[in-house]
Amino acid sequence: MKRIALLGMPNTGKSTLFNRLTGGSARVGNWPGITVDLLAAKIPVGGAIAELVDLPGIYDLHGYSDDERVVRHFLEEQSIDLLLILVNGVQLERQLVLALQLAELGIPAVLLVNMIDEARSLGLSIDCGKLGAEIELPVVAISAKYGEGRQAMGQTMAHTLLTGGNARPGTAILRLAEDDRIEQRAAALAAQTMRAPLVLPERLTDRLDRLAMHNVLGLPLFFLTMLGVFAGVFWLGEPLQNGMQFLFDAFSTHVLEPALAPAPDLLRGFLIEGLYGGITTVAVFVPVIVLFFLFMALVEDSGYLSRAAYLMDALMARLGLDGRSFVMLLMGFGCNVPALMGTRVMRSRALRLLSMLVIPFSLCSARLQVFLFIIAALFTPWQAPWVLMSLYLMSFTLAFLTALLFKGRRAFRSEEPFVIELPPYRLPTLRQIWARGWMEVRHFLVRASKIIIAGVVLVWLLTHLPAGVAPAGPASYAGMIGHVMQPVLGPLGIDEKLTVALIFGFVAKEVVIGALAVIYGLNGDALTSQIAHSLNWIQAYSFMLFCLIYTPCLSTIATLRSESRSLRYTAFAVAWPLALAWFASFVFFQIASRM
Amino acid sequence: MVNNENHSQIHPMTLPLTSLVPGQIASVCAIHVGEALQHRLHAMGFRAGKRVRLIRQAAFRGPLHVRIDSTDIIIRHRDAHCIELRLT
Ligand SMILES: Nc1nc2c(ncn2[C@@H]2O[C@H](COP(=O)(O)OP(=O)(O)OP(=O)(O)O)[C@@H](O)[C@H]2O)c(=O)[nH]1
Ligand SMILES: [Mg+2]
């Protein structure tokens, strides 16, 4: 099978094009460095099937950050039949340098001048025919986002793949001395083939930035925006949550219970209170989470993250981190795993390790479900948003505090430069937003079908064995575990029942609420009121604090391990939050319950 | 090699990027950084002769927002200090 690779600088639209060509859902975002790993899919090209590979963006062929290394390995070790070289048409001159370097690898290539829509609206025009003749490569102008030029691109790809293009003997990896020559050539080419107005028109981006990047207003505006996003998710999410609950309850009373009426008690209990109750308690939150990710997609694709990096870098520098670390903390609000991977763009290992140490404090969407659930049970609708906000603040505070405490250690000290591109603001298309939402639903279904079911089943067994005990009573295994842990967790106000839920939250935070449903043998409103009855708000908040801070989920730990390639570091990154969680909950519970 | 010791090398007609005021334009004449950063800066458009415009600077010696042709870049104060410009 022929292999086609997408190459170009970061943020030029490679993943957007990949999605368009494959119908796939590679992550797209207006932030240089969204893709940090390979992603392949099969597409038909000129009557045959070929493999299309999306790669991280690179600035040149000399880089040595972990994402750039992925690309270099790929170029060195895989046979490639066609390179699709993407450049941002708005920045043709600058990006042409990389395109020319790549062309010299000697692999048949097509140059795609992307974002032609943006170039046009700035009044730029590019003579692709002339450019192609000069560099002896087929050149096609496209808009990956809006689909323009798709046909011409398809034909050119098929033709080049079939004929092998005009492949020339390649230099394996460029010699550094060649760079100057190529830079001059790129400048000359751009001058010949590109027509630009003398003064670029003022863009909407420039006007927005005057406010968004304002020295005084910028930061407050940023936090207000974040607040708006969370408030939006919270208020729009609640009716969705209630709707789901209603549907699940109706299904249980009208279908499940009658259908299972003849089944033996134990089996019925297991299926209804265990499996169904546990899973639906988590599933109720799916619409909220999808909503949350739609908002995240909007933020990520708007380009506002780069502005956040600009606004926060001065503070982050004092914490031994940089603007990119802050952006990854924000991405961690969705899920910690891609945020950890996103640090691959950092060249300094020390900076990467310190960033990865703080990212797990980011209140991810799984933890959000737990908090929404507990907050709804224990607090009034008026208190709820403030409680949630306090947890988000806590999440930032602990991340910053951790960085501050450890930045001086040799392993975490870095002198990494901070230079990033500032892309213009962009609006995602409905199709992009939809793709993102759908991806999250699928992601949930995959998790639900494995981890959540397994967790719920295990909790049910622990609460019902040995045979004949009162469910989740002191004689059950769950009760015994809770009892053993009491000396440690008792001082935090966390009782036996919550203890078991916490232990399972170690696998995945969503399991915490599924486990609570099973432990109490209730779901829906009955569960919330039971929890409201058996906990006071201080205990509940202490439990949430512990949940927020303690050991990240298993996937996060696995990612920490694979990205750091150090067992010692991973152990530390697990132990420190655990210790901090205990300490924070202890202090909170002891002080609050004495007041 | 990084910033400070380079002060002495800076020609009287030139100034570091950090000395520009917002709106001012000057052209790149030298970049005093290690090879790795040099490559990155090159790829971002900081090449000899290129005209750089300072758009704004963040508070508390935060990063600078500069524009080269149609590329906008954010660069930390410390790194910007190593870029030597000539007023045109
Ligand atoms: N206006 C416009 N925007 C585009 C086009 N193609 C991509 N974009 C936007 O550009 C941004 C970057 O797109 P990605 O596909 O994530 O870019 P990438 O090259 O994969 O970036 P990395 O993974 O960071 O290397 C997103 O906001 C896209 O929506 C286009 O043709 N026109
Ligand atoms: Mg990408």
* Nearest to A421, CA basis, from B52, B78, B53, B66: B66
Pure H helices in chain B: 35-44, 77-80
A contacts of B36 (beta carbons < 8 Å): 62-64, 347
Q: Is residue A476 helix, strand or coil? A: coil
Q: Is residue A554 helix, strand or coil? A: helix
- Enter the DSSP assignment of A143: B
The C-alpha atoms of residue A88 and residue A119 are separated, in whole angstroms, by 9
Alpha-carbon A172 to chain mean position: 35
Of the residues A94, A175, A345, the best mutation for testing chain B's interface (the one with the most B CB atoms within 10 Å of its CB) is A94
The string of DSSP codes covering A265-306 is HHHHHIIIIIIIHHHHHHHTTHHHHHHHHHHHHHHHHHTHHH
Candidate from A16, A17, A18 with most ligand 1 atoms within 8 A of CB, to mutate: A16
Strand B71-75 and strand A419-421: the pairing is antiparallel
Sequence-separated contacts (24+) of B3-8 with Cβ below 8 Å? B3/B32, B3/B78, B3/B81, B3/B82, B6/B32, B6/B82, B6/B84
B contacts of A309 (beta carbons < 8 Å): 74
- Length of chain B, please? 88
CA of A11 to the centre of ligand 2 (A): 7
When CB atoms are compared, the residue of A93, A306, A418 closest to B79 is: A418
Q: Is residue B53 helix, strand or coil? A: strand
Strand A109-114 and strand A82-88: the pairing is parallel
* Nearest to A302, CA basis, from A210, A433, A202, A201: A433
Q: Which CATH fold would you assign to the domain B7-68+75-87?
A: SH3 type barrels. (2.30.30)
Whether A310 and chain B come into contact, CB under 8 Å, resolves to yes
Q: Which of the ligands is closest to the CA of residue A8?
A: 1
CA–CA distances in Å: residue A225 to residues A219, A304, A387: 10, 10, 18
- The residue written with tokens 């990494």 in the block is A416
The C-alpha atoms of residue A498 and residue A547 are separated, in whole angstroms, by 11
The pLDDT tens digits for A424-458 are 999 999 988 888 888 878 887 887 788 888 888 88
A contacts of B40 (beta carbons < 8 Å): 59-60, 63, 417, 419
Q: Can you tell me which atom of ligand 1 is nearest the CA of A32?
A: 24
| Amino acid letter for position B70 | S
How close A235 gets to chain B, by Cα (Å)? 34
Q: Is residue A326 helix, strand or coil? A: helix
Atom 27 in ligand 1: residue holding the nearest Cα: A30
The C-alpha atoms of residue A84 and residue A137 are separated, in whole angstroms, by 11
B contacts of A216 (beta carbons < 8 Å): 59
| Amino acid letter for position A283 | A
Residues with CB under 6 A from ligand 1: A 10-16, 28-30, 32-35, 56-57, 114-115, 117-118, 143-145, 301, 426
For residue A230, the model assigns a pLDDT of 86
The C-alpha atoms of residue B85 and residue A588 are separated, in whole angstroms, by 54
When CB atoms are compared, the residue of B45, B47, B76 closest to A317 is: B76
Q: Where are the domains of chain A?
A: 2-195, 220-415+433-593
Beta strand residue intervals within A46-106, DSSP E: 48-54, 82-88
The residues in B 8-47 lying below 8 A from A, measured between CB atoms, are: 33, 36-37, 39-45, 47
Asked if residue A346 lies in contact with residue A379, where contact means CB atoms within 8 angstroms, the answer is: no
Whether A98 and chain B come into contact, CB under 8 Å, resolves to yes
Whether B52 and chain A come into contact, CB under 8 Å, resolves to no
Beta strand residue intervals within A127-185, DSSP E: 139-141
The C-alpha atoms of residue A36 and residue A10 are separated, in whole angstroms, by 10
Helix A365-378 to helix A286-302 angle, to the nearest 10 degrees?
130
What backbone phi and psi angles, to 5 degrees, belong to A447?
Answer: -65, -45
Exposure on the CB side of residue A395, measured as CA atoms within 13 A: 26
* Nearest to B65, CA basis, from A35, A60, A205: A205
Asked if residue B6 lies in contact with residue B78, where contact means CB atoms within 8 angstroms, the answer is: no
pLDDT(B1) > 50: no
Radius of gyration (Cα) for chain B, nearest Å?
12
What backbone phi and psi angles, to 5 degrees, belong to A62?
Answer: -105, -5
The pLDDT tens digits for B5-44 are 444 454 558 899 999 999 999 999 999 998 889 989 999 9
- CB pair distance less than 8 Å for A62 and B33: no
- CB pair distance less than 8 Å for A9 and B60: no
* Nearest to A96, CA basis, from A9, A164, A13: A9
* Nearest to A460, CA basis, from A517, A383, A507, A528: A517
For residue A176, the model assigns a pLDDT of 54
Positions of chain A with pLDDT lower than 50, given as ranges: none
Q: Which CATH number fits domain A2-195: 3.40.462.10, 3.40.30.10, 3.40.50.300, 1.10.3720.10?
A: 3.40.50.300
Stated as kind and residue range, the H or E segment containing B87 is strand B83-87
- Enter the DSSP assignment of A8: E
Asked if residue A511 lies in contact with residue A455, where contact means CB atoms within 8 angstroms, the answer is: yes
Q: Where are the domains of chain B?
A: 7-68+75-87
Candidate from A112, A142, A145 with most ligand 1 atoms within 8 A of CB, to mutate: A145
* Number of neighbours of residue A467 by Cβ within 10 angstroms: 6
For residue A157, the model assigns a pLDDT of 94
How close B11 gets to chain A, by Cα (Å)? 24
The C-alpha atoms of residue A278 and residue A281 are separated, in whole angstroms, by 5
The C-alpha atoms of residue A125 and residue A579 are separated, in whole angstroms, by 59
Q: Which residues contact A594 (CB under 8 A, 6 or more apart)?
A: none
Asked if residue A71 lies in contact with residue A56, where contact means CB atoms within 8 angstroms, the answer is: yes
